[in-house]
Structure 1
């Protein structure tokens, strides 16, 4: 079996996808609550800070994956990382040239964590990784493109882009910036297996060679019909609240998913999504053993399982 090291491993989205593709491994995760979930799920875990480890600590790993923290880059955050994207890209180029990077240049120390996968990939290159998979919010794409230049200089074939999760069987319209790199063979992004969701376009319409996107109702059949009312991005204005019925995919699942209102077809309030249900919308099985505290945040931070499987497949086959 192929061995992987998963940086910023979270509750195990990338690993569940990797395991489905025959890739075993170990994850590094610092958050104690998330570690509790990982342990309950039987995932090999190093509870610690990614910055305090390196490739030689995990010499068997031939696959590197990472989903660095996105709080400062995501549009859901305050944006200090987005304002510093040019500086992040410059730092990537400096690292590629072998120069020192002063990470204190960033307003928020979490921003510098997006550089860690590159350190692991090139700091001790003779250890080598046959494949690398990275994922982040769409705003991080310029960083992955800068990574690609550096990795190509190290002999990798690299592909980058923004993927739509519903096109890989996730019952959710999340978009992710991804990087796939491999030392042997041509790197390509995974081909979609499902149709893209378009508001008002029926599930059965579209490319006949692709499967229909998956709805919330199909993932949560015991719920019956419902409508989700979202307050994301509305500035608190009720007129701007988004609505999706259970016959559509979910909005992007975030750590605030427990705030979403659910109503039945007659407008009556329904119980809000449970952690189990929120996890299912990220592609986790219904019996996934969510543990510890702040479970909604754990779920929101996870890489959707089916997308992870598609990325690992593209990088290793």
Structure 2
């Protein structure tokens, strides 16, 4: 029994369009399931990582593709996925998105009632002036893509069969509005409504799916009504309880056959939950020749277990804190090291904590930001498997070597995605480097540095 508890797949050839694709978290997940994917990503640094990883990529602005190039997308795309930039909604951000939730909800209803692109764009322009951050309104793009598909003649006005969205917990109420809209039905060109069935919107813990990191993401899974009702993936592991750090861990045998206090319910008769995966398991014993010496502890800005003297500390026998764009600042301490001279997590180690393969080809600038912004591939795999009724792949596959494309394949990927050969750089459809040097619509949480902007120009 897998976390998806898969029935027979209902799509013969799933082909996923990944909006705001970043360095490839959902695409790696799709790869593990044997699902083809195409990612659209604005940030050139993230695109360089994707190219070297062999992921089909368009270096482009998601909004511009919908507006100007939608009919250039492969007509076979039948799964729409995405995680719009979350910084304006996250508690770590400045909160503009949270303050504008009511206005964004009104725009969702306007889209469902058939407002034109021109009307929506005019309202978005006013909202961007109000919030001071254009990323706030990008949360509407998945819905606009789903509606756009219904008027695309190249697709035969065919809707996406499946929609999968993820965001920070603060967007849960917005995803619920999405749910209501999709169940009411998208406005078709012939006056009919295209209705979806949507699983209950919920916030999931990534460590409950084998990710060695405590991270929460709010998930929406929708299917065309004809495909039946989807459901969220069932947990496979215990969640980490900061108020009882040992409960559900690898050394807590008494709870091995029971759900953790904070775990999602598990139906009677299903496979018992496994212990959550610790940092030491993936960075130590199982991380290859570059493994980190255990025991160790990581000091961050978070509290652990409610114990003041342990504030901001987790040990190698626990999951990591949430991996963010500032992960390289976390101090790694060993018993034989001075606390005043800690080590730092490498980009490779941060990627492993996100469940990327250990040799994933992180490239170009802002690599900490790339890693921190990504969807953990193992978690994404469980979500996609549940959405598509596919069996999940083994966790161990995410710790295997990644297949890197040949140089010839790399060139083809760049040309296919809008970038020209390496000697020439970006093509006419790529975002301009000077635009990317400000606030990126990928998932950049801060203005790009001069070095980063220079890299984007290559």
Q: What TM-score does the superposition give when structure 1 sets the normalisation length?
A: 0.95
The residue aligned with 2:71 is 56
CA distance in 1, matches of 2:146, 2:337: 52
**Residues 1:134 and 2:204 aligned together:** no
Can you give the 5+ residue segments of structure 1 that lack an aligned partner in the other structure?
A: none
- Within a 5 Å distance, the mapping from 1:9-158 to structure 2 comes to 9-54=21-66, 55-58=70-73, 59-99=75-115, 100-101=119-120, 102-104=123-125, 105-106=127-128, 107=131, 108-125=133-150, 126-154=157-185, 155-158=195-198
The structural deviation recorded for 1:91 is 1.4
The structural deviation recorded for 1:207 is 5.2
SS at match of 1:135: strand
The structural deviation recorded for 1:123 is 2.7
Change (3 A) 1:240 1:74: farther
CA distance in 2, matches of 1:143, 1:243: 33
**Residues 1:194 and 2:264 aligned together:** no
The structural deviation recorded for 1:266 is 5.2
More strand by share: 1
Q: Which stretch has the larger CA shift, 7-16 or 196-205?
A: 196-205
Change (3 A) 1:292 1:280: same
SS at match of 2:386: helix
Asked which structure has the greater CA Rg, the reply is: 2
CA distance in 2, matches of 1:275, 1:38: 16
SS at match of 1:110: helix
SS at match of 1:53: helix
Deviations 1:12-54 (CA, angstroms, capped at 9, x unpaired) = 0001111111211110001010000000000000000000123
CA distance in 2, matches of 1:26, 1:225: 41
Can you give the 5+ residue segments of structure 2 that lack an aligned partner in the other structure?
A: 1-12, 151-156, 186-194, 258-271, 285-290, 390-458
The residue aligned with 1:251 is 321
What is the count of residue pairs matched by the alignment?
Answer: 314
The residue aligned with 1:218 is 281
Whether contact under 8 Å (1:56, 1:127) holds in the other structure is no
Q: Alignment RMSD, CA only?
A: 1.8
Deviations 1:190-233 (CA, angstroms, capped at 9, x unpaired) = 10011111233341343510111100000101212111110259
The structural deviation recorded for 1:185 is 1.6
